[in-house]
């Protein structure tokens, strides 16, 4: 008999539910988050790539991929995806903050400030930003 951690149990359960509903993006997102939490970054990427197959370049898929890229330290690639997002995505303060953070980490502080100023003017002020 093996003892399985709750995280591994959750991953296994989520995989099974996703097999039954492969087009359920929220389940796919949950699985990616669990895999990231377990530090299985390759399997998380595989789930993201499958999301592209099923959902195309949907904003939610791009944001999930950006999260993965940033956690893996692939900031230049994350920046490329941030650039491809439509403006309405930056109404979310977390997305705006993460984009500015990404630019700042790439030593593009002026660009980060410019992005914050542009989007904060459009959507009001965000204390996090």
CA angle 53, 54, 60 (to 5 degrees): 100
Q: Are 35 and 67 in contact (CB under 8 A)?
A: no
Burial zone of 124 (CB within 10 Å; 0-12 exposed, 13-18 middle, 19+ buried): exposed
**Cα–Cα distance for residue pair 27/79, rounded to 1 Å:** 26
Q: Model-level pTM?
A: 0.87
The tens-digit pLDDT sequence of the chain (129 residues) is: 455 689 999 999 999 999 999 999 999 999 999 999 999 999 999 999 999 999 999 999 999 999 999 999 999 999 999 999 998 999 888 999 999 999 999 999 999 999 988 887 655 555 555
């Amino acid at each position: 008999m093996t003892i399985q951690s709750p995280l591994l149990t959750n991953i296994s359960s989520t995989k099974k539910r996703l097999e039954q509903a492969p087009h359920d993006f929220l389940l796919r997102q949950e699985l990616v988050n669990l895999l990231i939490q377990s530090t299985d970054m390759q399997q998380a990427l595989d789930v993201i790539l499958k999301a592209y197959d099923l959902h195309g370049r949907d904003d939610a898929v791009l944001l999930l991929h950006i999260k993965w890229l940033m956690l893996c330290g692939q900031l230049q690639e994350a920046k490329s995806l941030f650039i491809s997002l439509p403006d309405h995505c930056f109404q979310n303060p977390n997305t705006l903050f993460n984009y500015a953070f990404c630019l700042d980490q790439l030593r593009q502080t002026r660009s980060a400030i410019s992005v914050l100023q542009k989007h904060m003017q459009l959507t009001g002020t965000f204390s996090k930003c």
